[in-house]
Amino acid sequence: MTTRASELSPDATGPSELSPDPTGDPDSWTNRLRGWFEGLVPAGQALPDRQPVYVASWIYVFGVLTLTALVVVIASGVVLSLGGATWWHVSSVGHYVNSVHLWSVELFFGFMVIHLWGNFWMAAWRGRRAMTWITGIVLFLISIGTSFTGFLSQSNFSAQWIAAEGKDGINSIGAGAFFNVLNPAQMLLWHVVLLPLSVGLLTLLHIILVRRHGVVPPLDARLEN
């Protein structure tokens, strides 16, 4: 049985009065979690509506283009996973989605390389941005592995040829014991679970760091207080 608010006595405590004081119990997990979220980026920098004038340069666009291509990669990959490992070989719709997935990956790497080199020549690690730069480099390397396992998961002759040619290189560095390129099921799981999860988490961390420290200014930019 529920009680309407109008039936409560004048001394009854309302919902707003039942809410805990944020400063009352600093050991509360909810207050710690709230403080952690609020400390990720400065106030007003999560989705800012203003940027410095130098951001109007085209070189600053490729980070957003890389992120946009990644969204298409993930969305098309989810659709492919719903259809099964061989769906795109027997369905015209699956073939189209597979093509979208492939070309979005091509654009993703193209935009990422331009973004990487542009930030390299701007010395993007300046101003306490070293971790932002490191997460971007690690993200690029993991993306290469994700793309490689994607080619191994095509379930066609091309995937078999790539696996056969790549196994000696993988074995030569001692990784063949746990990364068997001749095992298509293992490569598929690496491609759709482990590596995409790493890419997603690192992308989120990279964006948070960019919003926390701001986009890197050009070397000759004059920042006014």
Structure confidence by residue, pLDDT tens digits, 3-34: 444 444 444 444 444 444 555 576 777 777 67
Distance between CA atoms of residues 123 and 51, nearest Å: 19
Q: Is the pLDDT of residue 38 over 80?
A: no
Residue 198: both structure tokens together: 């790493």
Distance between CA atoms of residues 72 and 103, nearest Å: 10
Structure confidence by residue, pLDDT tens digits, 93-129: 999 999 999 999 999 999 999 999 999 999 999 988 9
pLDDT reported for residue 177: 85
Structure confidence by residue, pLDDT tens digits, 145-187: 999 999 999 988 999 999 999 999 999 988 888 899 999 999 9
Distance between CA atoms of residues 147 and 70, nearest Å: 12
Structure confidence by residue, pLDDT tens digits, 57-76: 899 999 999 999 999 999 99
Burial tier of 73 (Cβ tally within 10 Å: 0-12, 13-18, 19+): buried
* CA-based nearest residue to 219, from 123, 134, 133: 123
pLDDT confidence of 132, banded at 50, 70, 90? very high
pLDDT cut 70: percent of the chain above it: 83
Which string of DSSP letters, residue by residue, matches 150-198?
HHHTS-SHHHHHHHHHHHHHHHHTT-TTT--TT-HHHHHHIIIIIHHHH
Distance between CA atoms of residues 21 and 107, nearest Å: 49
SS3 of 216, please?
coil
For residue 53, the 8-state DSSP code is G
Length of the chain: 225
Residue 150: both structure tokens together: 């994607």
pTM of the model: 0.79
